[in-house]
């Protein structure tokens, strides 16, 4: 049995370019589906957040249109409510990577607000990358990579890695590209990542060494399956 650390955003909003606060948090599918994949395979999941706050779900991610209808939305909400690990997260600053076999970052717009500038998370990501342990990051969660720059030159260990994340096209189609302070794809390219863009909204995962990334919510399940394979 492996022990897998989920690092979830502690944010409840995303600050837009005009200074307004858009309510958000983590995206339900990107946390619930991987949790299900891992636990059904017999693994343990521990959740961590900045400050140890109980993570907030983006209510939009529980809407029928994102869950195949009313029945699917109700099922997603019920499954989420039954995940005790998400209701009792540990403090991210207290986490020791030695205690885990893999690390997984669910997305949602929340990471754009807090994890993108969280030095504790950035240090954990750098350590996870260096450890060789499977590291999974999906959708908007690669925003956390922006906090991984180290040294006087501000270089990130993730520079040069092939990866994916929520694309500019998808952000435009979601209606936020012209409201955002910055776009994830642009910042990852500026970081030096080799960004791999798939078709909008279709499952798309990229693996480079021990880094496994998924483009969008539909990629969360396939990404979790990749992590399972990496765990052996």
Q: Indicate the helix (H) or strand (E) that contains 156.
A: none
Q: Indicate the helix (H) or strand (E) that contains 148.
A: none
Rounded to 5, what percent of the chain is helix, strand, coil?
A: 45, 20, 40
Q: In the predicted model, what is the mean pLDDT of residues 91-112?
A: 98
Instruction: Work out whether the CA dihedral 164, 165, 171, 176 comes out positive or negative.
Output: negative
Sequence length of the chain is 232
Query: Mind giving me the DSSP string for 77-90?
Result: HHHHHT-HHHHSPE
Confidence at 202, pLDDT banded by 50, 70, 90: very high
How would you label 111-122 residue by residue, b for 16+ Cβ within 10 Å and e otherwise? bbbbbbebebbb
- What pTM value is reported for the model? 0.98
pLDDT of residue 154: 82
d(CA 216, CA 107): 8
Taking only the tens place, the pLDDT of each residue in 125-179 is: 999 999 999 999 999 999 999 999 886 678 999 999 999 999 999 999 999 999 9
Query: Mind giving me the DSSP string for 69-134?
Result: SHHHHHHHHHHHHT-HHHHSPEEGGG--GGG-SEEEE--SSHHHHTGGG-HHHHHHHHHHHHHT--
Taking only the tens place, the pLDDT of each residue in 51-100 is: 999 999 999 999 999 999 999 999 999 999 999 999 999 999 999 999 99
Taking only the tens place, the pLDDT of each residue in 22-41 is: 999 999 999 999 999 999 99
Instruction: Work out whether the CA dihedral 61, 48, 81, 219 comes out positive or negative.
Output: positive
Helix (H, G, I), strand (E, B) or coil at 177: coil
């Amino acid at each position: 049995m492996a022990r897998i650390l989920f690092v979830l955003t502690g944010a409840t909003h995303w600050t837009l370019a005009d200074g307004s606060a858009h309510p958000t948090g983590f995206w339900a599918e990107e946390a619930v589906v991987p949790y299900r994949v891992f636990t059904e395979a017999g693994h343990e999941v521990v959740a961590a957040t900045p400050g140890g706050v109980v993570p907030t779900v983006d209510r939009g991610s529980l809407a029928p249109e994102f869950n195949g209808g009313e029945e699917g939305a109700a099922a997603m909400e019920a499954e989420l409510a039954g995940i005790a690990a998400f209701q009792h997260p540990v403090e991210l600053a207290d986490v020791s990577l030695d205690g885990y076999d893999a690390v997984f970052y669910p997305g949602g717009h929340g990471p754009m607000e807090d994890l993108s500038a969280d030095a504790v998370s950035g240090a954990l990501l750098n350590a996870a990358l260096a450890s060789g342990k499977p590291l999974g990051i999906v959708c908007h969660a690669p925003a956390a990579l922006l906090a991984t720059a180290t040294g006087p030159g501000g270089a990130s260990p993730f520079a040069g890695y092939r990866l994916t994340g929520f694309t500019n096209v998808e952000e435009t189609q979601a209606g936020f590209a012209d409201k955002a302070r910055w776009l994830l794809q642009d910042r990852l390219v500026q970081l030096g990542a080799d960004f791999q863009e798939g078709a909008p909204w279709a499952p798309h995962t990229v693996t480079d060494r021990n880094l496994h990334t998924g483009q969008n919510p539909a990629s969360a399940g396939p990404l979790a399956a990749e992590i399972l394979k990496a765990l052996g």
